[in-house]
Amino acid sequence: MNSSEENVECLIIGSGPAGFTAAIYAARADMKPVMYEGMQPGGQLTITTDVENYPGYPDGIMGPEMMDNFKKQAVRLGADIRFGMITEVDFSSRPFKCIADGMKTIHAKAVIIATGASAKWLGIPSEKRLNGSGVSACAVCDGFFYRGQDVAIVGAGDTACEEASYLAKLCNKVHMIVRRDTFRASKAMQHRVENTPNIEIHFNSETDEILGDNLVEGVRIKNVVDGSTKEIKLTGFFVAIGHTPNTAIFKNWLDMDEQGYLITKPDSTYTNIEGVFACGDAQDKIYRQAVTAAGSGCMAALDAERWLAANHHA
């Protein structure tokens, strides 16, 4: 076998809470896991500032530091963590064939997919500049920091309505920015928002600019019908226009829903291909929390360990 080829027992693709937890369990089970960290080493938590809802950190912890701790633990236990990306897979036969960085071929007996999902953004410069300084894509993660304050949320689907309702319990006022003259959300979610007194809905509106130099101080919204603009003072700006699972390279191999989330068998991390397991936000569109991702990473490693033991000739 030449240097551009390698045999591994367990390949982990992706490096958020799910991937690192899978690596910790796989390393302790002597599966000698090799992880490719992917485009965003550490995953979505690396763009999160304070994490206060992960158990075991009574004073909270910064997202990047937390992911660094996950990584150090995995390395200490023997995981081989590499900077780089899996760019192509071939699951037609075992061992599975995965291409790293478009060059190296990894032959893996078992594969754990933990590629996560990426939040969809509006794509305006002020949103990028103030990301983590008042701009967030997760109300459940960050809403607590805006207790008693005025905030805005952009979106028209069930997630946006759910997050607006959640924020309304914590915040003084929630401005909901909806691009069309109607919601996309289910009727029940619409009614919940419309009947919450401290949620103000701005229909036919889009975000023109998020205001503030170093922290969010307000938003300028534009009426898409008549072009008029208005400024609203607030301290938090939440984007809830959806997520995109990072699963494109698995398209012709694994079962996924219409949004691209990988489908796993009930109460397991098994995909439709035996020996390939999926965990974290690549297959979870409901909870999307660090702690649930970590839990599913543990499940994937245990599933892979048992599968390898039963199929040791794989």
The residues assigned a catalytic role are 138, 141-142
Q: Distance between CA atoms of 11 and 91, rounded to whole angstroms?
A: 13
**Using CA of residue 218, residue 224, residue 225, residue 228, what is the dihedral sign?**
positive
Angle at 105 between CA 102 and CA 106, to 5 degrees: 125
Sequence-separated (6 or more) residues with CB below 8 Å from residue 69: 61
Q: Distance between CA atoms of 211 and 300, rounded to whole angstroms?
A: 43
Q: Distance between CA atoms of 38 and 145, rounded to whole angstroms?
A: 30
Segment holding 126, helix H or strand E: helix 125-129
Sequence-separated (6 or more) residues with CB below 8 Å from residue 166: 139, 140, 143
Q: Tell the burial category of 135 from Cβ atoms under 10 Å away from its Cβ (0-12, 13-18, 19+).
A: buried
Q: Distance between CA atoms of 103 and 85, rounded to whole angstroms?
A: 10
Q: Distance between CA atoms of 264 and 169, rounded to whole angstroms?
A: 34
3-state secondary structure of 277: strand
Residue with tokens 């200490």: 76
Sequence-separated (6 or more) residues with CB below 8 Å from residue 125: none
